[in-house]
Amino acid sequence: MRLVIKYGGTSISTAKDIHLISKHLNILSKKHRIVVVCSATSETTDDLLGISESIKKENKSAAELLASKIINRHKQLAKQTVKKIDVRKKLLVKLDKDFAELLALIDGMVLLGEVTPRTMDYLISFGERLSISLVSSAINDLGVKSIPLTGKDVGIVTDSNFGESKPLMDTTRLRVSKTVDALFLKKTIPVVGGFAGADQHGHVTTFGRGGSDYSSTIVGSCIKADEIWLMSDVNGLMTADPKIVKNAKLLKEVSYVEAIEMALFGAKQIHPRTFEPLVAKKIPIKIRSSFEVKNEGTLVTASTSSSVKNTVKCVSNVRNNGLIDIRGGSMIGTPGTAAKIFATLAKAGINVMMISQNPSESSITIVVKNTDLDKAVSVLELELLGKIIKKLEVTIDVAIIALIGSGMRGTVGVASKVFRAIEKNKINISMITQGSSELNLAFIVKNSDTNSAVRALHRAFALDKIN
């Protein structure tokens, strides 16, 4: 099989864990052709973002302090991970080169006193540049051939939309397949840096936070992989948060669309565009743990087999949100009201998580994160109160409870089952949404009612017996 195996930061952040994965890769490489994709080690991308923040604040010493934190972390890991003296020496020389480039970049940015999207991408791509050298050397240490390649090296070409770039798939496909096939012929395992590529001018670009998942499916699609494995510290997708529901089950199989919905809410965050490159080729993904390799994890496919088409697959929850009820007589029958409200929020950079409007059009209710609430209310007051809005009513500390499963589509009685279960537990619902795709039914309760709502629904739909 042709396999792309992607590791999240938590799987490669101690010498012990890097040993574990390189041994696993060694065994797999005897049977399969593997491309490895790596995230940055834990905290590294955050530290790089911290460096850019410090530069913006003209705090050079804070930026340098963070850089030395990153440098020490990787030096330490290199020394602890690689045993063979020659392999270790080569790794340290390579890392030193990257460290020097990082420090020079920081100096340059400090001198200019500005952080452009382009320099920012160049800066934050360093996390993966460092992690791939570590992982690749750990594989070499076992006597297996491997080389580290950045997204740019392997041939991922993107547009120039820094911070949120998209791959130019035709060019990328040609380049990536050529690079990888040549390495396969030489029995060398490529360890590719996730998160980044380069535009047509060779400037480094990134895909946005969590973008290594996306890198792995881009590469997978280019090399016509048979499977893509996303390895992290979770065993797969679950029917509910196991901290809330004791008998929550690992889901054996879900579809791409269900996985996207679940990833937005669940413990395993997946980059939202991850499945895009796969839709045409229908390559299956497995979400697995790098610590429990015997566990098969969750299989994500273009469409799930009929045996696992349960109506509802999981109950997710997101706490700590705020609800804003926007009212105003002049909203009724006035085209453009919603557009004005959402444009105002968008301009302020506020992400709206849920929306509902009643048919009388006298109110629109939205849900945002608690942390965005103040800003949302103040921009709406400032720009629209007294004009199209008469009154804003705010509720803090609410939770979104969402039922996910494509089997809900066209199934009669799901909603009544949901609300009966909730009613029995004397929980009040303050907002409900269901998209017409019927993939997701979500409603709002008080934070403090989250656990009982999730448990009630898990029970009502017998999700402990799902597989």
Q: Which does 40 bind (CB under 5 to 8 A by kind): Mg ion, ligand ASP, none?
A: ligand ASP
Least distance to ligand ASP from the beta carbon of 60, Å?
Answer: 24
Any contact of residue 165 with ligand ASP (CB under 6 A)? no
Single residue of 5, 9, 237, 256 touching ligand ASP by CB under 6 A: 9
CA distance 295 to 290: 9
Pick from 151, 155, 194, 197 the residue near ligand ASP by CB under 6 A. 194
Cα–Cα–Cα angle for 203, 207, 212, rounded to 5 degrees: 115
**Is the Cβ of residue 211 or residue 297 nearer to ligand ASP in the bound state?**
211
- Under rule CB under 6 A, residue 210 binds ligand ASP: yes
Which among ligand ASP, Mg ion, none contacts residue 398 (Cβ within 5 to 8 A by kind)? none
45 versus 146: smaller Cβ distance to ligand ASP: 45
Encoded tokens for 228: 């893509």
Please tell me whether residue 127 binds ligand ASP under the rule CB under 6 A.
Answer: yes
Distance CA(380)–CA(373), nearest Å, equals 11
Query: From the list 84, 175, 209, 375, which residue makes contact with ligand ASP (rule: CB under 6 A)?
Result: 209
Restricting to residues 1-20, name those near Mg ion by CB under 5 A: 8-9
Burial (CB count <10 Å: 0-12, 13-18, 19+), residue 391: exposed
Return the residue of 50, 193, 211, 266 that touches ligand ASP, per CB under 6 A.
Answer: 211
Q: Of 205-213, 294-302, 303-311, 320-328, which segment contacts ligand ASP by CB under 6 A?
A: 205-213
Asked if residue 42 binds ligand ASP (CB under 6 A), the reply is no
CB of 209 or CB of 319, closer to ligand ASP? 209
Cα separation, 176 vs 219, in Å, equals 7
C-alpha to C-alpha distances, 177 to 174, 202, 219, 339, nearest whole angstrom: 6, 19, 8, 44
Which two tokens mark 64? 């340098």
**And the tokens for 114?**
């500005």
Looking at 208-216, 310-318, 382-390, 436-444, which segment touches ligand ASP (CB under 6 A)?
Answer: 208-216
For 224, counting Cβ atoms within 10 Å of its Cβ (0-12 exposed, 13-18 middle, 19+ buried), the class is exposed
Phi, psi of 415 (to 5 degrees): -60, -45
Question: Cβ of residue 11: shortest distance to ligand ASP, in angstroms?
Answer: 11
Smallest gap, in angstroms, from Cβ of residue 210 to ligand ASP? Answer: 5
The tally of CA atoms less than 13 A away on the side-chain side of residue 52 is: 18
**Binding of ligand ASP at residue 90 (CB under 6 A)?**
no
Nearer to Mg ion, 8 or 328 (CB): 8
Window 388 to 447, contacts with ligand ASP (CB under 6 A)? none
Quick one: 162 or 214, whose CB is closer to Mg ion?
Answer: 214
Give just the sign of the alpha carbon dihedral 122, 271, 253, 172.
Answer: negative
Measured at the alpha carbon of residue 221, what is the angle toward residues 159 and 118, in degrees to the nearest 5? 20
Tell me which of ligand ASP, Mg ion, none is bound by residue 148, counting a contact when its beta carbon lies within the kind-specific cut-off of 5 to 8 angstroms: none
Instruction: Mark the segment that binds ligand ASP (CB under 6 A) among 73-81, 152-160, 204-212, 414-422.
Output: 204-212
45 binding partner (options ligand ASP, Mg ion, none; Cβ < 5 to 8 Å by kind): ligand ASP
Give phi and psi for 202, each to the nearest 5: 90, 5
- Cβ proximity to Mg ion, 43 vs 64, nearer residue: 43
What are 169's two structure tokens? 């798939």
- Mask 37-76, x = binds Mg ion (CB under 5 A)? --x-------------------------------------
For Mg ion, the closer of residues 127 and 190 by Cβ is 127
Structure tokens at 304: 């799930």
216 binding Mg ion? (CB under 5 A): no
Binds 236: which of ligand ASP, Mg ion, none (CB < 5-8 Å by kind): none
Q: How far apart are CA 427 and CA 23, in angstroms?
A: 50
The contact set with ligand ASP (CB under 6 A) reads 9, 39-40, 45, 127, 194-195, 209-212
Q: Which residues bind Mg ion (CB under 5 A)?
A: 8-9, 39
